Structure 1
Amino acid sequence: MARPIAADHEEKREHILLTAARVFAEGGYDRASMASVARACGISKALIYHYYEGKEALLFDILDVHLKRLRDRIRTVEAAEAEARPRLVAMLRVILRDYEGADHKHQLQMNALATLPAESQAVLKDYQRDMVHRVSSALAALAPEALAQNNARMRDVTMSVFGMLNWFHMWQPHASPGERDDYAALVAGLALDGLNGVRIVP
């Protein structure tokens, strides 16, 4: 008979993921061990192996949960907003909101994703491509026709927008939700209208 799932299974799994992300990011994924993650979680090594068969599976789940959740949130706001400009602003806002408190996951995304097997990397990169495509499509819907049809230039514009979001995340880590929302609108204004699109906050 299969072992029943405990009522707090998901809560414990979330705790393990958050703690492991911190341990992997701060100490280095290569140097970390399942034993060190278990100690940081305050659980036994045997229990952590009940959730994950090894460090690789744990890293994949950290990134899979993080990227899939953001991808799904972008899809949700995209579907909920019919008008092009508010749709773009809503998508940028949900990205900046999701970035809050995700520093360790971002470090692993940049520094440890490449250590995973090719098939695992492909799953995670598909999430990334999907998000970039959706933001790019939102921008293209508001761009002049010639730009919207130039894939290389739209890619440059899209990645510049992500660059601005990443700058804010790096340099304003303690920004409030309201400040994040305001900056998302600023980025949209800059991308669509240049300096004329900057709204002055009193």
Structure 2
Amino acid sequence: MARTRAADFEDKQRAILSSAAAVLAEQGMDKASMAQIAAQAGVSKALLYHYYPSKDALIFDIIRTHLTGLVEAVEGGDDATLAPRARLRVLVGAVLENYRGADNYHKVQLNGTATLPQANRDEILAIERRIVRAFSAVIKLVQPDLAPQLLMPVTMSLFGMLNWVYMWFKDGGPVTRENYAELATALLLNGLGGLPESLNTR
């Protein structure tokens, strides 16, 4: 007979993921141990292994959870009734808002994907491609005459601005997430000389 899940199984799982992401982000994929993760989560190693049979499984679920939330934010926030430029701005804002409080998850995604078995990497790549396609489709609407071979480099250049924001951005600082969403979108579409005046005044 199959063992039934405890009522708080998902709550405990989320808490374990959060603790694990913190340890992995600080220690790195190789140095972080399941014992450290269990201690950070306040659970026994036996309970940790009940949820995740290996460190790879834990890393994979951290990344998959992070990217699945990002897909939901992007696809849920996409509004085809908006003009293309406004639509792209909304997508950029959705990504930055999804990154709020998720720096550890994001670091694990950036540094941990390559450490996973190929089947796991393929699943992560499929989710990432889904996000990239959503952005590429809107960028193509903004600039219909963009050469096909440039669509991916332009799209990934935008993600370059978004994916490394955790390195310097601080909530409560002089630039808000909304400000930066406007800035990143304007830089992509207009260049440095085309920034909105509202962003260039103090």
TM-score over 0.5 for the pair? yes
Q: Equivalent pairs: percent with the same residue?
A: 40
- Deviation at residue 69 of structure 1 after TM alignment: 1.1
Cα-to-partner distance string for 1:9-58 (whole Å, 9 max, x where unaligned): 11110000010011112112212222221111111111111111111111
Distance 1:90 1:24, change over 3 A: same
Contact 1:190 1:198 in 2 (8 A): no
Provide the secondary structure at the position in 2 that maps to 1:24: helix
TM-score (normalised: structure 1):
0.89
Report the count of equivalent residues.
Answer: 197
* Aligned AA (1:82): T
Identify the residue that residue 40 of structure 1 maps to in structure 2.
40
Structure 1 stretches of 4+ moved >4 Å:
none
- Deviation at residue 167 of structure 1 after TM alignment: 4.5
> Where does 1:107-126 land on structure 2 (aligned, <5 Å)?
107-126=107-126
CA distance in 2: counterparts of 1:130 and 1:175, whole angstroms: 31
Unaligned runs of 5+ in 2: none
CA distance in 2: counterparts of 1:75 and 1:193, whole angstroms: 25
Identify the residue that residue 155 of structure 2 maps to in structure 1.
158
CA distance in 1: counterparts of 2:55 and 2:163, whole angstroms: 28
Identify the residue that residue 56 of structure 2 maps to in structure 1.
56
Distance 1:52 1:168, change over 3 A: closer
CA distance in 2: counterparts of 1:81 and 1:170, whole angstroms: 32
* Aligned AA (1:19): S
> Where does 1:96-175 land on structure 2 (aligned, <5 Å)?
96-143=96-143, 145-147=144-146, 150-175=147-172
- Deviation at residue 197 of structure 1 after TM alignment: 4.3
Contact 2:66 2:106 in 1 (8 A): no
CA distance in 1: counterparts of 2:101 and 2:58, whole angstroms: 19
Q: What's the Cα RMSD here?
A: 1.9
Cα-to-partner distance string for 1:104-142 (whole Å, 9 max, x where unaligned): 222222222111111100010111111112111111101
